[in-house]
Structure 1
């Protein structure tokens, strides 16, 4: 006998037994009580007796000791009360659990293998990994957050039809930020976007727990001004003040420096330096900057058109003149040597290598 059959038969038996005084509001022959106190004061109830509790808007069954709600073992679409720590919404066997809307399985819960999400790639191979799968419509999905302070660009994680994954949201009420992947097959990229006027910065900070807990800026990338044609500026260590942690995340940017050039570094700069010994030809590459020539070796420069703007510093302490690829010296004449105990700075102008020091 199922629960429905049991309920119907018990109700019929109750109506014949005249278990309690029925008032004009009784329905389906089930006795009614006004509240839980009145229900608990009923005498003569036997196991399986039914009563309708008007205050609780529910049917209660007498289990021989107490009045209990049959809905206590079910989750109701109108909500539940009397829930204990042992109650849960889910499965007790190894099958996926779904939460649907418009009959779409928006959320799935289960092991990776149970959800058929195994892939032979690092971090996707643990079949026993517990997963919450935001499935959406099976092709794309999104997770949006409430942000009443944002005028536009409500924060959202979302996927795209080409398989990319992005985070987009509000910044400073009216601006936006976006972090995510993009690109066609085998041509992927990772993007960091800030907007929408020009000078909004992307800032990297470090946190320190001392001195009252503060942030210190490491570096920032931003536009030179609030125009569509703002130049890119990259500043390292240009704002060194200790700023108290902003619990509301709404500190103004006024008073912070924008880099004064495409790259501004307040501090030391290190470049590659190589001590060259041995014999035979030495070909310079993107791994070189400064060369200290300690033996007589011929030098080959890369084609000037392949690395416009690149700089090499070559100091000759080999004891004799060095042979090198052609460059234009201070007299704008072609030269193919560097004399002993001499240093030249060479920079590519995209056509030839130019000596730029005296």
Structure 2
């Protein structure tokens, strides 16, 4: 007499079901939890049950009930994993994590991922790499920030190949750092604002005396209007501020805005040299001491409006220089002996201003 496999499977399942006193689910006996499963007596090797609590099928190996998903990752999560379990590959192929069939995230060696380039830091074939692939053209990585009212923090790339970091500052304001610009005209940008005169502040950290920050310098607008002029202040807020782990430590209250386009709370150093021969001045020079039979050539005044030179003559005789305007608005080409000449370009001529 022939018995179909379907009937045979049903008969075996029914025997096990009678041991558990549970209902049959798709032909496999059902237990509600591990305790009920482990209390089964008389189970034969190869017997199967469905564990409702673990949402998986277990097979009896003659001694214990073993999950058939022990070597698989389940879409509903896994239980009983150990430090030796992992999600990934054991051979040299890329691993991908997808959504909507887009390989958003890729893992592998640089060569395996096809990302080796003949540029510094991109040439190591064996460099372990995590590649945020996105849609293959652009990608973004956003962070949770429930305290941000508007601009949730995000790393992202753009269609022109630029890379940026954008996010919230002080709950309602914005900061952005990144590259921009067309081909062969790239730039690096630092942006702060939204409204008002929010500063970009550079600080130093000190671990002594309770751990604190000290402001090095700041760049910000002169006021909160849309037409505010830029201000750059160095060492204008030297107070020590204790660290605040919430990063909500201080408001703008009590902090100075630079009182001019540039304010320096300390010394200023500029270039100075002693001549050893005749010299043509450029952007490397500021103060020049003429020590011998040396003459001075000035750059075109229209090439450096606002530039200032200080020239002192201790050569023992008058020396020659490019034409400049005197205090009476005449012209001269002489630097008199034992004198100091201050010259500044107005964009059209070199003007004596001392």
TM-score, normalization by structure 2: 0.95
The aligned counterpart of 1:4 is none
The aligned counterpart of 1:3 is none
Deviation by residue 1:6-27 (Cα, 9 ceiling, x = unmatched): x989944623655634757312
Counterparts of 1:193 and 1:213, CA distance in 2: 28
Q: Select the residue among 162, 187, 194 that pairs with 2:160.
A: 162
Q: Select the residue among 212, 216, 241 that pairs with 1:243.
A: 241
Deviation by residue 1:260-291 (Cα, 9 ceiling, x = unmatched): 0000000000000000023xx31111111000
Q: How large is the Cα RMSD of the aligned pairs?
A: 1.8
Counterparts of 2:320 and 2:246, CA distance in 1: 64
Q: Is residue 10–residue 48 contact of structure 1 (8 Å, CA) maintained in 2? A: no
The aligned counterpart of 1:265 is 264
The aligned counterpart of 2:224 is 226
Q: Give the total of aligned pairs.
A: 349
The aligned counterpart of 2:68 is 70
Note if 1:118 corresponds to 2:93: no
Counterparts of 2:110 and 2:236, CA distance in 1: 47
Quickly say closer, same or farther: Cα 1:103–1:331, change in 2 above 3 A. same
The aligned counterpart of 2:294 is 297
Q: Which moved more, 1:50-59 or 1:20-29?
A: 20-29
The aligned counterpart of 1:191 is 189
Q: Which moved more, 1:75-84 or 1:23-32?
A: 23-32
Note if 1:86 corresponds to 2:79: no
Counterparts of 1:123 and 1:56, CA distance in 2: 47
Q: Where in structure 1 do 4 or more consecutive aligned residues deviate above 4 Å?
A: 7-13, 16-19, 21-24
Counterparts of 1:62 and 1:222, CA distance in 2: 72
TM-superposed deviation, 1:97: 0.4
Counterparts of 1:118 and 1:8, CA distance in 2: 55
Q: Is residue 22–residue 30 contact of structure 2 (8 Å, CA) maintained in 1? A: no
TM-superposed deviation, 1:28: 3.0
**For structure 1, which runs of at least 5 residues remain unmatched after alignment?**
1-6
Q: Is residue 156–residue 165 contact of structure 2 (8 Å, CA) maintained in 1? A: yes
Deviation by residue 1:41-67 (Cα, 9 ceiling, x = unmatched): 222222211112233332211122211
The aligned counterpart of 2:210 is 212
Counterparts of 1:249 and 1:14, CA distance in 2: 66
SS in 2 for 1:308: coil
Q: Is residue 216–residue 243 contact of structure 1 (8 Å, CA) maintained in 2? A: yes
The 5-angstrom pairing of residues 281-320 of structure 1 reads 281-320=278-317
